[in-house]
Structure 1
C-alpha cells in the first residue's frame, strides 16, 4: 500500500494526508482486533484455548483482501524501474541503504516502532499483572491505545496543513515523554480488587494508553517525508526497507520489554521507552537536514 500512495497523489501535502488516513484506518483495524480477540476469550476459563477460533475469522478477512486486490486497477507506469536486470529492484533497495538520508530515516522508524510495538504488545500484560484487571478487560482496554493512534493519525492531516512536520514531531515526542513520567508512577499504588469494572478501573488504565494520540503522527509523517523525497520508481524499494526495519524494531521492542517485565517487573518496563524517544529527537535533526539536500538517482 505504501508504494502505491505516490501513484495516487500529486504533491507532498496530499501524500502526507493520504498516508495518515491509511495509517489511521490501519489502527482502526488494530482496535477492532483487541475486541475481536477479547470476544473469543471465555470469561470463566481465561486460560483455555477457545480463543484460537478467532483465526478462522481472520482467515476469512484475508480472503476478502485478496478479492479486493484482484478486482482493483491501478496505473503503475510511473513506478516502473528503468532497469531490466533480474534482481534489479532488490539491488536498488540495497543501494538506498548507502544514502545518509536513508539510514537516518530507518534508524528513526526502527526506534519508533520499537516504542509502538512494545506498548501495544505488553499493555494487556501491564493491565492484568500490574493494574490487576480481569483478562478480557485487560485486552479490551488496549483498544484505547489503538483508538488514540487511529484518531491521532486521521486528524494529523488537518494539523499538518498549519504546522510543519518537524516542530510537530518534536512536540509529540516531548509530550510522550512527559506522559510516561507523569502516568506510570500512578500504577505503583494500585491494589488488587475482585469486583473491578470499567467504571472504577484505576485512572492510569485510561490515561497511559492516550500516549497513542501523541505518537500517532510520527510514523506516517516520517514515511511520507521520506517517500516524497524520492522518485516514484524508488518508492517500492524504500517500502521494502520500511517493512524490514519496522518489523525488526517491533520484534526487538516486544522482546526487550518482555525481558524487563520478567526480570525488573512491569512497573519499570515502560520507562524504557524514554530512551528511544530521546534518540528519535536527535535523529530528527539529521533527517531534516538530509531531506533538504537533493537525492541522487
Structure 2
C-alpha cells in the first residue's frame, strides 16, 4: 500500500511537465496537482482517521483501497484538467483512509513499542521504493509514447490485488474500546487528540520534518541548475560527465539513499536509543543543508542527496512513537492527526519556500534557507526530547498495558 501510494504521489513532478503542455495551464494551476491531493490527505486523516477505530482496521483499509482504485481506473477517461485534479484530490482522500487503517494495523501486529518502530520503518521503506519507481515508470511511458495516465491504471491494478489480499488475509482480532466514561469512538473524540501534548508534539515534529524534506524533491533541481534560462546550459557548470549525471538524477539519488536508510532503520531502531538517533540525524541534516548553501551548488550536489540517509528514519519513528503513546483502540485516530500535520507540511513548506525565493529574485537558494530553519527548529526539538525524554514514562506504561511487556 505504501509503495503504491508513493508511485503516484512522488511522480507528480514528471506529470506536471506533461500536463502543462497538454492543457496549457500556468505554474500556479499545475501546482494544484500537488497541493490538492495533499489537502485531501490532510483533511481525510483529521476528519476520517477515527474510522479505523470505529469500523475496524480491515473494513477501513478495504474502503480506502476501493476508493483509491476507483479514482485510479477513472484516469482512463481523464482528458480534462479539472477532472484530472479532481481525481487526484479524490485519491488523496482515499490515501488518508487506508493509510490510517494501515498505521493502526501496525500497532495490532506489533509485540512491543520497539518492534512497532522497526515495522514502521519497514513500511516507510517500501514508500521509498515507490518514490523511486513511480517517476521511472512515468518517464518510460512518455518515452514510449504512452499516456502518463497509465501510471494510475497500473496503480489501480496493484490496488485490486491489495483489496483481494485484504479480503483473504486474517487480521488480528480488533474490538472497539470506548473510554471509561462511555464516550464512543467518533470524529469529535478524534479531533480532541489534537490538544494532547504527545499527539501535538509528534505532529509538529512531522510537520517540520516534511517541510524540510520537501525542499529536496521540489526545489533541489532548481537550486542545482547552472542557467535556468537555457535548457542546453542547464548543467554546463559541472566539470565532468559524472557530476552532470548526478545533478540530473540528484532527486533519484536522494530517494535511493532514503529508501536504503529506512531498511537499515529496521535494524537500527531495535538496537539503539531512538531519541539519540533522531537527535544526531536531525543535526546531520542541518549540517548538510548549511554546508550545501555555504559551499554552493558544487558542494550541495553531494550533500543535499546525502541528507536522504539521515532523513530516512525520522518520519517513520515520529509516526511510530506518536502512535505508541496511545492505547491501540486510539491508534487510527492519532495516526490521522499525525497524517494531517504531515500533509500540511508537504503542502505549505514548498509554498513558503517558493514565496521567499520569488521575493529574492527567484533564486532557490533562499527557499533552502527556509528549509534549513525548519531543520534547525526540528533539531532543537529533538535535542530537548533526548535530554528530557518526556515520553519515557508514557511509553513504558503502554508497553506493559498494550503489549504485555514489563521492561
Query: Is contact 2:125–2:260 with CA below 8 Å preserved after alignment?
Result: yes
Q: Distance in 2 between matches of 1:207 and 1:277?
A: 15
Name which of structure 1's ranges 150-159 and 33-42 shifts more when overlaid on structure 2: 33-42
Deviations 1:106-154 (A, max 9, x none): 11111111112232233344445669249x9977431111111111111
Query: Is contact 2:275–2:385 with CA below 8 Å preserved after alignment?
Result: no
Q: How does 1:216-227 map to 2 (within 5 A)?
A: 216-227=312-323
Q: Distance in 1 between matches of 2:116 and 2:197?
A: 22
Residue 21 of structure 1 aligns with which residue? Answer: 122
Which residue, 348, 370, 374 being the options, matches 1:276? 374
What is the Cα deviation at residue 85 of structure 1?
8.4
Q: How does 1:153-172 map to 2 (within 5 A)?
A: 153-172=262-281
Residue 352 of structure 2 aligns with which residue? Answer: 256
Query: Is contact 2:128–2:259 with CA below 8 Å preserved after alignment?
Result: yes
Q: 1:58 to 1:161 in 2, by over 3 A?
A: closer
Query: Is contact 1:3–1:236 with CA below 8 Å preserved after alignment?
Result: yes
Q: How does 1:81-100 map to 2 (within 5 A)?
A: 81-82=177-178, 88-100=185-197
Residue 405 of structure 2 aligns with which residue? Answer: none
Residue 266 of structure 1 aligns with which residue? Answer: 364
Which residue, 167, 170, 173 being the options, matches 1:73? 170
Q: How does 1:35-74 map to 2 (within 5 A)?
A: 35-42=136-143, 50-74=147-171
Q: Distance in 1 between matches of 2:137 and 2:293?
A: 27
Residue 257 of structure 2 aligns with which residue? Answer: 148
Q: Distance in 2 between matches of 1:70 and 1:127?
A: 47
TM-score by length of 1: 0.80
CA RMSD of aligned residues (A): 3.3
Aligned pairs, how many? 278
Query: Is contact 2:216–2:251 with CA below 8 Å preserved after alignment?
Result: no
Secondary structure in 1 matching 2:195 = coil
What is the Cα deviation at residue 103 of structure 1?
1.5
Q: Distance in 2 between matches of 1:41 and 1:187?
A: 33
Query: Is contact 1:37–1:51 with CA below 8 Å preserved after alignment?
Result: yes
Which residue, 307, 328, 332 being the options, matches 1:236? 332
Query: Is contact 1:100–1:290 with CA below 8 Å preserved after alignment?
Result: no
TM-score by length of 2: 0.60
Secondary structure in 2 matching 1:290 = coil
Which residue, 200, 209, 213 being the options, matches 2:309? 213
Q: 1:33 to 1:187 in 2, by over 3 A?
A: farther
Greater RCO (Cα-Cα under 8 Å, separation 6 or more): 1
Q: Distance in 1 between matches of 2:252 and 2:220?
A: 10
Identify unmatched segments of 5+ residues in structure 2: 1-101, 237-244, 399-407
Which residue, 391, 399, 406 being the options, matches 1:291? 391
Q: Distance in 1 between matches of 2:134 and 2:120?
A: 21
Q: Distance in 2 between matches of 1:203 and 1:37?
A: 30
Q: 1:174 to 1:282 in 2, by over 3 A?
A: closer
Identify unmatched segments of 5+ residues in structure 1: 189-201
Name which of structure 1's ranges 278-287 and 237-246 shifts more when overlaid on structure 2: 278-287
What is the Cα deviation at residue 87 of structure 1?
7.2
Residue 99 of structure 2 aligns with which residue? Answer: none
Q: Distance in 2 between matches of 1:220 and 1:157?
A: 10
Which residue, 132, 141, 153 being the options, matches 2:234? 132
Query: Is contact 1:113–1:250 with CA below 8 Å preserved after alignment?
Result: yes
